[in-house]
Amino acid sequence: MEQAEPAIPPNESAQAPVPFADLVLLFTRIGLTSFGGGLSAWLYREVVGKRHWMKDDDFLGALTMSQVLPGANVINLSIYIGHRLRGGLGAAAAVSALLLPPMVVAILITIGFQRVGDIAWLHNFLEGIAAAAMGMTIAMGLRSGRRALANGRWSVGIIAAVFVAIGVLRWPLIPVVLVLSFVSLMFARGRP
């Protein structure tokens, strides 16, 4: 009698596990270098693009889930990535490495800010970093939009409806998201 091969659980990848130190160093570096936002874009670039620790669809699904769950999106995303790659300890390490080093730097900057607060080039430098983070976020949004367009034109219509309802008409966020989430689920359900 032949024995059946053990099934790989859906959350486990066939590749070797990510070294714990690499996970901690990556999240520390991202936390320390991503002033001004754009953390999701940095995570995408590093985890999917450079290191290939996750597939594109897995990351975008995790990003969607992190936006739906309560709490800060990047924290939810870090928990997911850390857990996916190294289990519960990886989730705790990813969040800690993302938050603790920048918090220490922020405290040190606050202490030293009284001495350098009037330096004009420093303000310009920080505005430039924020602009770069916005550019990365827009690039990730365009990449996600292209994938949405490939899945059907209705998803682009939902994106446009959210933009118009919240950005142009200034309707309240929660009712718009609830209604359009329901509409989106109905479109997705009708798809083969």
Tens digit of pLDDT for each residue in 25-82? 999 999 888 766 678 888 999 999 999 999 988 999 899 898 888 888 899 999 999 9
20/104 same-domain check: yes
Query: Mean pLDDT across the stretch 12-21?
Result: 73
| Assigned domain for 184 exists | yes
In a domain, 122, yes or no: no
Does 25 reside within a domain? yes
Same domain, 161 and 177: yes
Same structural domain, 173 and 101: no
Residues 168 and 90 in one domain: no
Domain assignment of residue 84, yes or no = yes
pLDDT value at 14 more than 80: no
Do 74 and 169 sit in the same domain of this protein?
Answer: no
Query: Considering only CA atoms, which of 23, 22, 34 is closest in space to residue 105?
Result: 34
**Confidence at 15, pLDDT banded by 50, 70, 90:** low
Instruction: Please answer whether residues 22 and 122 qualify as being in contact, where contact means their C-beta atoms are separated by less than 8 angstroms.
Output: no
Residues 141 and 157 in one domain: no
pLDDT digits (tens, 9 = 90+) for 150-177: 766 777 788 888 889 988 999 998 899 8
- Within a domain: 144: yes
Collect all residues with Cβ–Cβ distance below 8 Å to 140 and sequence separation of at least 6.
40, 41, 44
Q: Please give the residue range of the domain that contains residue 63.
A: 15-111+128-151
Count: domains in the chain: 2
As given in the structure block, the two tokens for residue 132 are 């770069």
Domain assignment present for residue 141? The answer is yes
Q: Looking at the structure, do residues 162 and 93 belong to the same domain, yes or no?
A: no
R_g over Cα of the chain: 20
pLDDT band, very low/low/confident/very high, at 6 (cuts 50, 70, 90):
very low
State whether 22 and 104 are in the same domain. yes
Task: Say if 83 falls within a structural domain.
Answer: yes
Rounded to an integer, what is the distance from CA 50 to the centroid of its chain? 15
Q: Which residue from 158, 142, 169 is spatially nearest to 191, judged by alpha carbons?
A: 158
In tens, the pLDDT along 109-144 reads 888 876 776 778 877 887 888 888 888 888 887 887
Share of the chain above pLDDT 70, in %: 87
